[in-house]
Amino acid sequence: MAGNIENGRIADPGEMPWTVYILLDKPDINIKNYQATGVILNSRWVLTAGHVVNCKKRDGTVCWSHNIRVYPGLQNVADISRVRAHTSHTYFIPENYVKHKWDAFDIGMLKLNEPIQFANGTGHRAVNGVCLPRKAVYNRYEEYAVMAGFGRLNNGGDSGGPLIQYVDGVAVLIGISRGVEPIPTAHCIVQDPNKRAWFTRVSLKIDWIIGTVANFSTP
């Protein structure tokens, strides 16, 4: 994971074991190898941004994302050939995002065709799941959080990446990256009050996440 965010750095091996690299195609709108980031929820489910998998033609007709490949445990995109891709034929997006593109619902879920194998033992793991926050919890004050991704915000690679906060030493997913507004001309997020990174608040989507897993976890 490259350090393309101002004051960012390259993540150490095993530091962000829930972060995955995503590639997919949207052939109906001539997009191939769209790059994004995702977050491992469990061995069969990955969270990302809704706009990553959402596909609409110019006339508003819904199209489909195809050839979805998820790469867990990838540290550097240059090493992608060394990591096994997990494929997904099934994804879910809240109806309010599909119909209206409401930013508050910019979240998506990928159901993997085969489970991810988590590492055994203790300490840093190359691949692991992340914890969800309590339902409807808010950060009342300015608090420290960490974001991760494989590219540059609003340049594809970081969309769907996690915003993590450590609670009593446990990594909790509080946000899903959905981009920067307005779009910066630089290739990284800069410390500019007029250029803010935006995230979907995960605590407000707990019912949808848990319900999706519960209703569609059968093979």
pLDDT of residue 84: 92
Higher pLDDT, 158 or 80: 80
Determine, yes or no, domain membership for 23: yes
Determine, yes or no, domain membership for 4: no
Determine, yes or no, domain membership for 84: yes
Determine, yes or no, domain membership for 13: no
Share of residues in the chain with pLDDT > 90 (%): 53
pTM, 2 dp: 0.87
Determine, yes or no, domain membership for 122: yes
Determine, yes or no, domain membership for 174: yes
Query: How many structural domains does the chain have?
Result: 1
Lowest mean pLDDT across 7-16, 24-33, 35-44, 75-84: 7-16
Query: pLDDT tens-digit profile of 156-186?
Result: 568 899 999 998 889 999 999 987 665 444 4
Query: pLDDT tens-digit profile of 96-124?
Result: 888 777 888 999 999 999 999 887 654 45
Strand (E) or helix (H) holding 139: none
CATH number, position 155: 2.40.10.10
Residue 188 domain boundaries: 19-216
Determine, yes or no, domain membership for 92: yes
Instruction: For residues 9-22, give the mean pLDDT.
Output: 89
Determine, yes or no, domain membership for 7: no
pLDDT of residue 126: 81
- CA-nearest of 12, 88, 75, 10 to 43 is 88
**Strand (E) positions, 29-133?**
31-42, 45-48, 66-72, 86-92, 108-112
- CA-nearest of 158, 187, 150 to 175 is 158
